[in-house]
Structure 1
Amino acid sequence: MQPIHADKRSQKRRNTIYYLEVYDLDSGQLLGRLADITVQGMLLLSESPIVPERTYKCRMVLPAEILGRGNILFDATCVWSRKALNDDFFEAGFRSLIADPGDIDAIEMLIQRFAFNDL
C-alpha cells in the first residue's frame, strides 16, 4: 500500500525532538521509534518490517510526564510499510485509534512541547 500523501491529511505531521519508543503490547517488543506524529497518526522507524493493514495495541513512552501520564496507550493500524532510505531500517505509517480524550490531550501537548518543523 502506498503512503498517504500530505494533501490527503487533515493535519500536518510534526517531527518530535525525541525518537519516542512505541511498544506492541501484545508481544511486549519495541514496535518502532516515533519519527513524526499528529493526533490522527504517526510514522515509525523500525529495525524489522511492520505488517500493513494490521491493528496494534501500542504503548508510547513519553519523554516527560504529560497531564499525569508517563505513557499513552492506544490502538494504531499500519496503513503502509516500506524499506527506509537507510537500508538498515523500515518505516511505517499508522492511523491512530484513540478513544480516551485525555490521551488525545496528552498527544496534543506532546506535539506542542516536543515537536518542531511542519513537514
Structure 2
Amino acid sequence: MYIKSPAQHIHENSLKPEDRRSVKRRHLIYYLRVWRTKDNTPLGQVVDINSQGLMLIGEKPIPTGEELDLKIHLPDEGEEIKFLNFKAICRWSSKDINTAFYDSGCEFVDQSDDKIEQLQKLIEEYGFSD
C-alpha cells in the first residue's frame, strides 16, 4: 500500500487558526489496521495519530460527520489479541495522492482519562522517536 509522505499532506499553515492541530501528530512504527466495530469491516490503516484523533488511509472514503465505533488491532506481543476501542467522528475525507486510496481525518469523541491514557501508551510504545 502506498502512503504519501508527511510533506504531501495538507500544510498546517494553509488552515484557518481554529482548524490547526494543537497536538503534534505522530507516525507509528507499525501500520495498525482500523475496523468498524459493529460489523468488523476494515476501514484502513493508521497514518498518524495523537491524543485528539487520527488520520487513516483506506480504499473507501468515510462520510464527513459520520460517528464511528472503531477498533485498532494492536501488534501481536504474545498469544492475546489486543484491540483499542474508541469512538470518533470523521472530520474530512479526500483522495490520497495515490488515487486508489482515500485519507480520512477522525477526531476522538471518548476523551475519558482511561482512553487518553491508552492512546498515550500506544503512541509512546509504537511512535517514531522525534
TM-score bracket, normalised by the shorter chain, equals: 0.7 to 0.9
Moved more, 44-53 or 95-104: 95-104
Q: Which amino acid aligns with 2:61?
A: P
* Post-superposition CA distance 1:57-76 (Å, at most 9, x none): 011111256xx992111111
Q: Which amino acid aligns with 1:13?
A: R
Q: Which amino acid aligns with 1:52?
A: T
Structure 1 residue runs of 4 or more that deviate by more than 4 Å after TM superposition = none
User: Structure 2 regions of 5+ residues with no counterpart?
Assistant: 1-9
Rounded Cα–Cα distance in structure 2 between residues aligned with 1:20 and 1:32: 8
Rounded Cα–Cα distance in structure 1 between residues aligned with 2:11 and 2:70: 21
RMSD: 2.4
* Post-superposition CA distance 1:35-84 (Å, at most 9, x none): 1000100000001111111110011111256xx99211111100000000
Identity of aligned residues (%): 32
Task: Select the residue among 108, 115, 119 that pairs with 2:120.
Answer: 108
Rounded Cα–Cα distance in structure 2 between residues aligned with 1:52 and 1:33: 18
Equivalent residue number for residue 50 of structure 2: 38
- Normalised by the length of structure 2, the TM-score is 0.77
- Normalised by the length of structure 1, the TM-score is 0.84
CA shift in 2, pair 1:87/1:117, >3 Å? farther
Rounded Cα–Cα distance in structure 2 between residues aligned with 1:98 and 1:63: 22
Equivalent residue number for residue 11 of structure 1: 23
User: Structure 1 regions of 5+ residues with no counterpart?
Assistant: none
Q: Which has the higher strand share?
A: 1
